[in-house]
Structure 1
Amino acid sequence: MIATPRRRAVVLGGAAILLLAAMLVSILVGPAGLTPRGVLLDIVDRLPLVDVESGLSTRQQAILWNIRMPRVVLGVLVGAMLAVAGAAYQGVFRNPLADPYLLGVSSGAGLGATLAIVVGGAAGFAGVPVAAFAGGLLAVGATYALGRSVGGVRSEVVIILAGVAVAAFANAIQTFFMQLHDDTLRQVYSWMLGRLSTDGWTDVRVVLPYVVVTVAIIALHRRTLDVMAVGDVEAASLGINPARVRLFLVCVATLGTAAVVSASGLIGFVGIVVPHAVRLLVGPGHRMLLPLSLMVGATFLVLSDVVARTVMSPSELPIGVVTAAIGAPFFLFVLRRSRGA
């Protein structure tokens, strides 16, 4: 739909401005008394060969750089990764309803996190990210193994059905352990509903390499995704091995998804709503779809976090509740509109 380079630049530039504005709003919202001028000057003051007075107190600077900024950057990484992974899943499966959790990564991550919490108790919460990451990857591996066992690994339909079966099995085991250890239900549900609370920059440093590598690989395959949209037979006639490309991109997208989920918990609707909505605005071409999904997904999650922090202040609402409350009605609206079109 957006054909000319000038229009593409305008749309991408506008999305980038909205993302920066959302990040600034998220940094400012709260009782710390931060001001836009003080924040911007303090950021500039951190640049090499620049020395300006921001006017922020030592306490405000600590809040800005040790609490607000890591949380906002983590929100950007998680939202961007889920949206790009969703676009990749929807592309390789030719299904606008596909999302990063399609093949059981959420259920596997949830099971891994639950086991870490119930086995380790309060001390086990520190091992939740590692357990969730491993659980998500194992679930997707089990999905492909199950698909291969029935001889349908080349069919995206069989893979999706295998993912449903693996997810159901993982959810059953998770529920069993939650019933055995009902004293840990609050911790388990706190992780499952998603959160962006961080311990400084640790989560950002862990997640950043996975997000950068995953997004770069998917972006390099944007033309392949366009070709696969026409069907496996047509793609094969053009020299592409659909089964191999699908497996590779699913593994890459799952790796990035598992990494961000291990840090943020299960945050739904970003990976399904954002790419689908962007596709309706700019068309199916992945040259625009991927970068725009990245920025819109990051903006959506950052603003959702602002709502989660303020709607029940001083308490904090799980961000997964906010994304579901916003994403579900919006998704129904998009479906209704696309059906009418």
Structure 2
Amino acid sequence: MISIARKMAQTGLDIGNSSVKFVQLSGKRENPILKNFELIKLKEGNTDEYREVLANIAKKLTSKDVNISISGPQLVVRYVDLPKMNEEELKSSMKFQAGEHIPFDIKDVIIDCQKVEDIEHGKMKVLLVAVKKETIDKLVKLVEGTGIFPGIIDCDSFALTNAFLLNFPDAVEGTNVALLGLGEKYTVVNIMKGKTPSFTRELQIGGRDFAQAISEKLDVNIKAASLLKEEPGERLQQILEITKPIIVHMVEEVKLSLTYYENQIGSSVDKIYLSGGLSGFKGLEEIFKKSLETDCGFWDPFKRIKIDKGVSEEKLNSVKNQLHVAVGLALRY
């Protein structure tokens, strides 16, 4: 999306709301090798802790150049139909037309655009991305001084797409799939028509809402509530009952997205793929499957990535459901 790279990076750094993850690859893009990874859970989530974690990560990287991503309401992704034009004309046109499609003052954002495909009536579908300048500045400032150098600044939804297409290229042929990234604060909905991204939306719902509901209902602190969310054990039914209103709301919002896509494209989503920390919430996969009446399952972000002999596969398997974005970022070379 936005490149400030010194050189091409093969490391993806996912700076989340409750953890920081990195994935370092080597080799050719079509046959990558996992050289290193880590997931570090945050205790406080303040700036000082982020800087300390990033500085420690920098010490473990053979190359300090990394690709990072952003998410949240300060980021806008739109698919717009425009008359056919070349790349130079498109860039020039967007300086004047972008304001019609984004809810921010055009002076306050960084804009990028890319042709997606030609469509009928002499038009083309264009991907428009806008992010507030202050968001980019804040992210770069956070990383500066830790020994890490930002390369490409992408967004979570595109990183998910990159990782999925590398690992499951055949799964999208002639079909519509939805990638749901269930994070701590946001849920990414990314729908592809074949290999072409066609719809992107971020929901303001995530694992933090689940933990907050558990905390309030059981009168425990957030840390204890998060542990119950991740490992409910014999209290699974109780936890499901407590979080039911949030799950219902999440399902309704996802359903709205799928319905909107179907109305716009004229065909429905055939399968939903789950990823992210919240995807491990017990029973959620089955709830999505039944409520949305759509096949639903998980996907392995390392299916077609060779694991280096120095990497612990046991450790990798315990956290891989949270590394999809980092993998997609690491593949931007």
Give me the TM-score of the superposition, normalised by structure 1: 0.25
Which of 1 and 2 has higher RCO (CA within 8 Å, sep 6+)?
1
Which structure shows the higher strand fraction? 2
Give me the TM-score of the superposition, normalised by structure 2: 0.25
Which structure shows the higher helix fraction? 1
